[in-house]
Structure 1
Amino acid sequence: MQGVIQACLTTFAGWNVRVANSTLEGVPQAILSQPEVIIGEVSVGEIDGWRFLKQLRTPPATQGIPVAILTYAAS
């Protein structure tokens, strides 16, 4: 799913997309890169999406970045 979202945002929206390969990598990467928006998955990674969101809201550097949390059901 990560590849589909990345392709859509890059191709159709023209966004410069950076991908964190794990939730543990996501917070430090967000602090360093200061993205305009963060899109996270609720149930994928070492920590769940809600804990990831809480960790993003702790450092002042990432408190103001808008976050969209996604989820999907595989069938």
Structure 2
Amino acid sequence: GSDNRSLGELFLYFSDEMSDITWIQAFRMLLQMFRTILNNNTELSDDKIDELVDTFMNTLPALLKAQLQAA
């Protein structure tokens, strides 16, 4: 009865958590690739690249930004 439902809810909770972590890791990898491309293909300084990334991060929706910063 209720045991199966509880296990199912627990499974869904953990699979949701895992998919969030995977998504966040993927986002961070893309951001790192973007930094590397800027670094290798432009004359921008590291400080300028940091500034661009910060500007990009500040345009993200608040909920998304909070998840990325918490990870």
TM-score normalized by structure 1? 0.28
Q: Please say which structure displays the higher CA radius of gyration.
A: 2
In terms of fraction of residues, the more helix-rich structure is 2
In terms of fraction of residues, the more strand-rich structure is 1
